[in-house]
């Protein structure tokens, strides 16, 4: 009898029947962070996300990985996603095709060697892209991920200002651009998670958001948000 009940419970969980009385999520959002890692600031952000069971996507710079390696093992172990940002935050549209290729390849390889994960996402610095950037990203098997919400957290040091810029427009399917470079950005991000989780939202990685939207992340293609399927 006990074995039957265990099997039945497993079936209910897999079929979605168990917990059916729980309210459906109000929506799904992807928090993304550029320009890191940043030592203790990133560590504090990861602590806060972990405590809230919120996932994020981090677009990493090669030189920052060399300066602050301590966070690298945590990204994957704690369920986050990592992607390429560049080696030294260069405007890729100003480089030759060979230079863009080298920049993407070297940063992707650095991420692979330090995390064991080969990145499939990249975000060009400043969101600047052209045909060359697309072609080289496609050659490396990476999609270009931009954003739909930008609170410009890099330009201010006031968490309230950053929070209000996000909270007023972030919704289901949005990709939020942030930077784990300052304490105010970390505070604003975690306060946003608290506010939106209280409203029923869930914070997931970019790839999880795309899968939920039934969107294939094709290499070389550009994505800004992932609206829910009709």
Identify the CA nearest to 167 among candidates 143, 148, 139, 195: 195
Contact 197, 54 (CB under 8 A): yes
150 is a catalytic site residue: no
Q: What is the token pair recorded at 131?
A: 């045909």
What span, in angstroms and rounded, lies between the C-alpha atoms of 163 and 188?
5
Give CA torsion, residues 63, 127, 174, 47, to 10 deg: 10
What span, in angstroms and rounded, lies between the C-alpha atoms of 161 and 129?
29
179 is a catalytic site residue: yes
Residue of 80, 103, 174, 179 marked catalytic: 179
Q: Give the contacts of 223 (CB within 8 A, at least 6 positions apart).
A: 143, 144, 145, 146, 175, 210, 215, 217
Residues forming the active site: 34, 179
């Amino acid at each position: 009898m006990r074995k039957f009940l265990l099997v039945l419970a497993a079936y209910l969980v897999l079929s979605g029947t168990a917990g059916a009385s729980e309210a459906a999520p109000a929506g799904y959002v992807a928090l993304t962070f550029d320009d890191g890692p940043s030592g203790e600031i990133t560590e504090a952000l990861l602590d806060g996300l972990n405590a809230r069971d919120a996932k994020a996507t981090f677009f990493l710079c090669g030189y920052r990985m060399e300066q602050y390696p301590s966070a690298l093992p945590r990204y994957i172990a704690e369920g986050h996603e990592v992607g390429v940002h560049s080696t030294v935050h260069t405007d890729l549209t100003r480089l030759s095709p060979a230079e863009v290729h080298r920049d993407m390849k070297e940063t992707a390889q650095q991420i692979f060697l330090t995390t064991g994960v080969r990145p499939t996402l990249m975000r060009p610095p400043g969101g600047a892209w052209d045909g060359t950037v697309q072609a080289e990203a496609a050659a490396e098997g990476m999609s270009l991920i931009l954003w739909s919400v930008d609170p410009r957290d890099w330009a201010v040091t006031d968490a309230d200002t950053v929070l209000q810029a996000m909270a007023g427009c972030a919704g289901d399917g949005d990709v939020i651009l942030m930077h784990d470079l300052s304490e105010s950005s970390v505070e604003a991000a975690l306060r946003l998670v608290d506010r939106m989780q209280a409203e029923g939202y869930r914070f997931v990685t970019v790839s999880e958001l795309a899968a939920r939207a039934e969107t294939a992340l094709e290499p070389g293609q550009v994505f800004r948000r992932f609206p829910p399927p009709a």
